[in-house]
Amino acid sequence: MRHLLKYLKSYKRECVLAPLFKMLEAVFELFVPLVVASIIDKGIAGGDKAHVIKCCVVMITLGAVGLISAVSAQYMAARAAVGFATGLRHDLFKHIISLSYKNIDELGASTMITRMTNDVNQAQTGVNMFLRLFLRSPFIVFGAMIMAFTINVRAALIFVVVIAVLFAVVGAVMYFNIPLLKTVQEKLDRITLLTRENLTGARVIRAFTLEESEIKGYGSANDELYSRQQKAGHLSALLNPATFVIINLAIVVLIYTGAVKVDAGILTKGQVVALYNYMSQILVELIKLANLIVLLNKAAASSDRIYEVFKITPAIEEGGRSAGDKPQDASAESVGFYHVGLKYSETGDEALTDINLSVKKGETIGIIGGTGSGKSSVVNLIPRFYDVTSGCVKVFGKDVRDYDVKELRNMIGVVPQKAVLFEGSIAENLRLGNEEAGDEELNEAVRLAVCEDVVKLKGGLDGMIEPGGKNLSGGQKQRLTIARALVRKPGILILDDSASALDNMTDLKLRKGIGGLDYDPTVFIVSQRTSSVQNADRIVVLEDGCIAGIGTHEELLEDCGVYREIYDSVFHEG
């Protein structure tokens, strides 16, 4: 938790005033038993009505001031806690966005969602309750003990023993409960993952009638979460009954001792009542403290999980290019791969092995191969979605690792395999490629991407897209994502199997439109269909992460068995 306290720096005043107001409330509360004792011993026993009225006015005043102090403290604590969570959530989101594809693959989307939501909320609640009670409850407990000593030393020793026993119980519960609460959050990650998978894959589940098995799997994960929560809950639940038993036993001993001392003339009846009230105050505050400790345990476990994310160093580090070094050179090669090797994990097999390829500016390169041959892996190295394990990739004559990541990716337009659109208008989605683009540029990109019919169908550029583009077909989403990349007018355009949902005629129109671009970009077309790449200047054939052949369509049909096999699988008859 201490690693996240920097988010309270802007709320130092609130962090100081909230506990102070709570302590002020506690001070007034500690005086109440003494006033009650005075009412009993002087007012009632002495028949002094004026004294009783005077003491009642004092009690009302103490209560009113205490109420104002409590409201002020809760306002300050809530303000600090909400500000803490806002800053934490912002930085956590910023850090997650900075992580590379490799980091995200290792961490998992469901875990990140849980830590961004549930864990941050738990930490916020912990901060709020800590500021409200971390001084008040101990202050009341020890304050009541000190006030008891002012009444009678021997009777006050009961308070010392009780407080020592209670703190031992609380410490034991904390020691065993924190690991359990951390496990609960991990099981919650699993529930989030299953929920996310079932919601995004609902059509697949229904198509294969897997509802029952998915319900069974979810139920099993839910039972595991329930079991862990139950264990943690049982342990946490021990605090309240243990506190009640210990305090009530102490009250019995206190009343017995007080009665003996009243008979002996050592204590007055009012003093015994005051001692009883102080013991009751300790009971109430220790129950609050017990609940606070449970909340702080949850907050501590959640904070540790959040800090684990912050500790992840982005696998993609910023390059060291100087501001005056202009990388783009028309005379240089556009993209170069030099003995490139790639592993997705240190212990895994190579996804790419010894890839060598030099691409000139304005050249169109087709990349084809079977499933899992490494097609997407090759193009993902150009914008540094992943870093090479060996060798290097150069863009306009400079190693991609020497670029500022943002500037490198601003030169590149990427259309991923899975078309992703965001909630908002068509224009807002297209301007993700270029925030400064005007309507004319957007319409030109729409024309080149052969999606004029989509825009017209949705009512123009202001037409709304639902979250994830669920009001569009697969082909419509693909064409809009291509238009989004073209709005940028990139020097390098990567189409990663982005026409898989298009019919052959639309695919042909799209390739003709891209081929006629006046700014002459370098184009990479990744596909499993030979028809999509056969007109490329050169075609790279991949097999098991290695280059099986490079050449034109005609050359590869003659010299490359892998390419001919892919071609024959589509066009060969008989």
Query: Tell me, what's the pLDDT at 90?
Result: 92
The closest of 166, 151, 165 to 258, measured between CA atoms, is 151
| Beta-bridge partners for 424 | 465
Which tokens is 255 given?
Answer: 């009343």
Exposed/middle/buried for residue 537 (C-beta within 10 Å: 0-12, 13-18, 19+)? middle
User: Which residue do the tokens 């001031």 mark?
Assistant: 65
Residues sharing a CB contact under 8 Å with residue 274, sequence separation 6 or more, in sequence order? 33, 34, 36, 37, 147, 151
3-state secondary structure of 275: helix
Query: Tell me, what's the pLDDT at 371?
Result: 83
Query: Tell me, what's the pLDDT at 324?
Result: 43
Which tokens is 546 given?
Answer: 């290695």
Alpha-carbon span 491 to 433, nearest angstrom: 13
Alpha-carbon span 127 to 299, nearest angstrom: 8
- Please state the pTM of the whole predicted model: 0.68
Query: Tell me, what's the pLDDT at 571?
Result: 64
Query: Tell me, what's the pLDDT at 379?
Result: 93
Alpha-carbon span 433 to 441, nearest angstrom: 11
The closest of 107, 129, 105 to 116, measured between CA atoms, is 107
Residues sharing a CB contact under 8 Å with residue 293, sequence separation 6 or more, in sequence order? 170, 173, 174, 239
Domains identified in the chain and CATH numbers? 12-311 (1.20.1560.10), 335-571 (3.40.50.300)
Contact present, 355 and 500 (Cβ < 8 Å): no
Question: How is 53-115 classified by DSSP, letter by letter?
Answer: HHHHHHHHHHHHHHHHHHHHHHHHHHHHHHHHHHHHHHHHHHHHHHS-HHHHHHH-HHHHHHI
Which tokens is 562 given?
Answer: 């892998």
Query: Tell me, what's the pLDDT at 241?
Result: 81
Alpha-carbon span 123 to 120, nearest angstrom: 5
Q: Is the dihedral of CA 327, 328, 332, 336 positive or negative?
A: positive
Alpha-carbon span 284 to 251, nearest angstrom: 13
3-state secondary structure of 527: strand
Chain centroid to CA 517: 41
Alpha-carbon span 459 to 171, nearest angstrom: 65
The closest of 242, 253, 254, 250 to 289, measured between CA atoms, is 242
Taking 50 as the pLDDT cut, the residues of the chain under it are 321-328, 330, 573-574
Alpha-carbon span 532 to 526, nearest angstrom: 8
Residue-averaged pLDDT of the chain: 85
Query: Tell me, what's the pLDDT at 366?
Result: 93
Determine phi and psi for 238, rounding to 5 degrees. Answer: -65, -25
Alpha-carbon span 134 to 288, nearest angstrom: 10
Contact present, 403 and 319 (Cβ < 8 Å): yes
Exposed/middle/buried for residue 461 (C-beta within 10 Å: 0-12, 13-18, 19+)? middle
Contact present, 364 and 559 (Cβ < 8 Å): no
H helix runs in 474-503, sequence order:
474-487
Query: Tell me, what's the pLDDT at 83?
Result: 92
Angle in degrees, 0-180, between the axes of helices 49-98 and 12-38, rounded to the nearest 10: 160
Residues sharing a CB contact under 8 Å with residue 485, sequence separation 6 or more, in sequence order? 413, 414, 415, 433, 493
